[in-house]
Chains A and B, each alone.
Chain A
């Protein structure tokens, strides 16, 4: 009987852990073998030390002279996951080759962007087979050495199309080998003269896929947004102040959101009072807006849509209840003088920030009751980054609403959200597996077909990545 209960637990919970040689430069979850469970696909970097040793006789014994060289090698790995655990791995050794990243298309093929080529790969046995190799368009940009997060592959007119950034725009490449160049407005670029170098920042477009029609590329220049489709047909949306261009209500049209922060704060005690004035202009037809906002209101917290600065703020846009409508998060930080001193002297700091949840209903925003919610987040000198939404929320109980999880050293405290608000009364905790008590990263992915999300834990330890996954339902 006890065995049966144990077996039931095993089947009911989707969890496990494994170790990977090296550190991931790109790690994603896709159902490559179409068995209903997401698999792990990783582009890994590991160190390999090669030594030369020369042993010789001297003064009555043996002495050796040696030298060593450390190489950084890449490999691609696919590990199928299922409710019974991780399956056999497929590995493709890539050596010291420049690999910018991979993407997985809906047909389960992996496209690897490497020196001058795209390799289309499929796992087979313990390795991969190369289905196709395509030459890239000639770009004036030099080799890229780190993994790319830019969406360089989109579906356009029923086929996979690749996008490659250059100084002045994007090159596109179709599977048939057709090439096209999409120029961007010059004012989008930012430049600065530093002490020993000149720096140019070329923003990458956001890709927006409307419910129907072809994907759009969006570039934000502050008071204007440049919108272009992949045929090169472009549109400039301008206003006399900074704004956000985004489809807030999933009708396929880009809406305009204007945010003014109200920051007359005297001290930390005033932080819960921080507000933003929000105006939403809903598009009636493409880029057609009424003179008066469709929604105007005051929402708790700062609503900052951060560009790519060193200290990047958390994105304020997400969907709390999976209804397709964009909900808004407002944030406020508590940062005391003592914490600033601590940050400077220790190089790391845990900050507490307040999170307000504003849910979209019938074209208006309603603030969830029970808030604001306090989240603690670790910063360090190297990574001045606020969490992504998936790093603090997941639908862990499978009720269609995201829940908030907070790492409290050894355990996660989970507070569910529902239509009534932030349910502090229904919170529960999850004890982290031993390996992941001090995780480097925790985030949510839905690994299986049930509605509840799983959590992924990563621990980087001396050239090895420990990866764990677990269903963390109540």
Chain B
């Protein structure tokens, strides 16, 4: 059955200021069980939308330009913005900022910013990360990688994100694998939360000789409940940007990943046209565009055969008229069949391709979602936070973070509904439009 989508517009939420919102976050800020929204405009104003008081719309929280990224917190009289800076905590008040000194033994990391998470504040220190929870600092050693240049040392600290890694209901900490091209390594860090005590897992895996890492992704493809790493590789020699990349993988083990790469497989992706890698039990899927003039969509599936991948992928693809090569959403289940579908943007608008079972994974016959172009280079970022206590969110929402920094639209699975949120420029204001996507019977 082909599904056709119609758009229903809920009441727009307006930001009463002409400057563009640059980042938008969805999270339960006041722990009332409802998802609130906050946004920071390009000139630094922080606005909060309290879901419990939706009639008030967006309320101005603070003027915070040149203040590191923080978080709105509820106060007796409204909202304050809290941010950690070098050695101090800043809290906005009606006229300016109050500063509170932080313990000096924290050795805050110069120049970095604190991150507000569902677990509490993650405060970067020189040797790792300090978790600030219930007025307590707990330090986790998240070692930076170090490379030596001719006249400088370069330290790279992984950014942590909050996820339930082991499915025990406690939120754990996870760092996206850090690619070290100089030493040909992948470094990783995970910390498991066992009722408030932390067990860490960190290590490194080596790239196959003669290759350089381009990008990587984690997921479980062999069904052993351990996260595996899939990395796109480019030959470590003079190469053309039109040459094709390879990929390899590292199998997840109990305390890390296999140190060596068992297999190197060829792909047809170019260095400058890579796309999402989707890892699911039994397979790896590579989504990408090819072609210089025409955007040729490609979807290659490599099947896992108990011990290795079959080198020849199952291939499918078609040309997207005037395709937006920056927009390729592959992880949303829009028709609630338990399988992620595909969204591409082109001349026809935003187009939905439901996932099927059978020879082809997607139907080339498409359903148009919105008949205007969305995304593109001229958009601002929307990222969706997740909140462990919020029942409106299912775990799949956490992955919506990958929209961050890439697209001006956000897809939200709100209970039964699929919603499309996007900012619309109304000349004298910005409107956060919510479009509910509903199948027509």
Is A186 touching B240 in the complex (CB atoms < 8 A)?
no
Within the complex, which residue of B110, B178, B183, B240 is in contact with A346, where a contact is CB–CB below 8 Å? B240
A177-223: which have CB < 8 Å to B?
186, 189-191, 193-204, 206
Q: Given A198-B109, A345-B242, A347-B238 in contact, is the A70-B150 Cβ separation under 8 Å?
A: no
A146 in the interface (beta carbon within 8 A): yes
Residues of A within 8 A of B429 (CB): none
Does A165 belong to the interface (CB within 8 Å)?
yes
| Distance to closest chain B CB from A254 (angstroms) | 17
A198 to B145, CA, bound (A): 10
A347 to B151, CA, bound (A): 26
On chain B, the residues within 8 Å of A203 by CB distance are: 151-152
Chain B residues whose C-beta falls within 8 Å of the C-beta of A141 in the assembled complex? 146, 153, 155
> Complex Cα distance A147/B150, Å?
10
| A200–B241 CB distance below 8 A | no
Contact B157 A70 (CB under 8 A): no
Residues 22-72 of A contacting B (Cβ, < 8 Å): 47, 69-70
Please determine whether A199 and B148 come into contact, CB atoms closer than 8 angstroms: no
**Given A196-B176, A196-B178, A198-B124, A149 contacting B150 (CB threshold 8 A):** yes
Q: Is B158 in contact with A186, judged by CB distance below 8 angstroms?
A: no
User: Is the C-beta of B203 less than 8 angstroms from some C-beta in chain A?
Assistant: no
Interface: B337 (CB within 8 A): no
- The reply to whether A200 and B240 form a contact with Cβ atoms under 8 Å apart is no
The answer to whether the Cβ of B154 comes within 8 Å of any Cβ in the partner chain is yes
CB pair A348–B238 under 8 Å, yes or no, is: yes
Most buried by B among A150, A197, A345: A197
Residues of B within 8 A of A312 (CB): 150
Known A196-B158, A200-B157; contact A381-B151, beta-carbon cutoff 8 A:
no
Contact of A47 among B209, B241, B243 (CB under 8 A): B209
Judge if A286 is at the interface, Cβ distance under 8 Å: no
Contacts of B243 in A (CB 8 A): 347
A167 proximal to B (CB < 8 A): yes
Residue of A nearest to B182 (CB): A146
Bitwise interface map of A from 7 to 29 toward B, beta carbon under 8 Å scored 1, else 0: 00000000000000000000000
Q: Is B439 on the interface with A (CB-CB < 8 A)?
A: no
Q: CB-CB < 8 A to A346: which residues of B?
A: 238, 240
By a CB distance below 8 angstroms, the chain A residues around B214 are: none
Whether A198 touches B209, Cβ cut-off 8 Å, given contacts A206-B151, A347-B239, A381-B238, is no
B104 within 8 A of A: no
Please state if B148 and A148 are interface contacts (CB–CB under 8 Å): yes
B236 in the interface, Cβ–Cβ < 8 Å? yes
Q: What is the CB-to-nearest-CB distance from B415 to chain A, in angstroms, rounded to a whole number?
A: 31
With both beta carbons as reference points, the residue of chain B lying nearest to A205 in the complex is identified as B151
Q: With a CB–CB cut-off of 8 A, which chain B residues contact A201?
A: 152-155
Contact with B along A229-251 (1 / 0, CB 8 A): 00000000000000000000000
1/0 contact string of B114-154 vs chain A (CB within 8 Å): 00000000001011000000000000000111111111111
Q: Number of A residues contacting the other chain (C-beta, 8 Å)?
A: 44
Q: Are A381 and B239 neighbours in the complex by a CB distance under 8 Å?
A: yes
A 142-153 binary contact with B (CB < 8 Å = 1; else 0): 111111111000
**Shortest CB–CB separation between residue B86 and chain A, in angstroms?**
9
A327 to chain B, nearest CB (A): 21
Asked whether A337 is an interface residue with its Cβ less than 8 Å from the other chain, the reply is: no
Question: Residue of B at shortest CB range from A68?
Answer: B260
Given A142-B146, A146-B183, A198:B156 Cβ within 8 A: yes
29 examples of A-B residue contacts, CB within 8 angstroms: A141-B153, A141-B155, A142-B145, A143-B146, A144-B148, A145-B183, A146-B183, A190-B111, A191-B110, A191-B111, A191-B112, A193-B113, A196-B158, A197-B156, A198-B111, A198-B112, A200-B109, A200-B110, A200-B155, A200-B157, A202-B155, A203-B152, A307-B152, A308-B151, A308-B152, A312-B150, A344-B241, A345-B240, A347-B241
Known pairs A200-B157, A201-B155, A308-B151; list 14 more (Cβ under 8 Å).
A141-B146, A142-B143, A143-B146, A150-B151, A190-B111, A193-B113, A198-B109, A200-B110, A202-B154, A347-B239, A347-B241, A348-B238, A380-B238, A382-B236
- Chain B residues close to A by CB (< 8 Å): 109-113, 124, 126-127, 143-159, 175-176, 178, 182-183, 185, 209, 212, 236-243, 260, 405
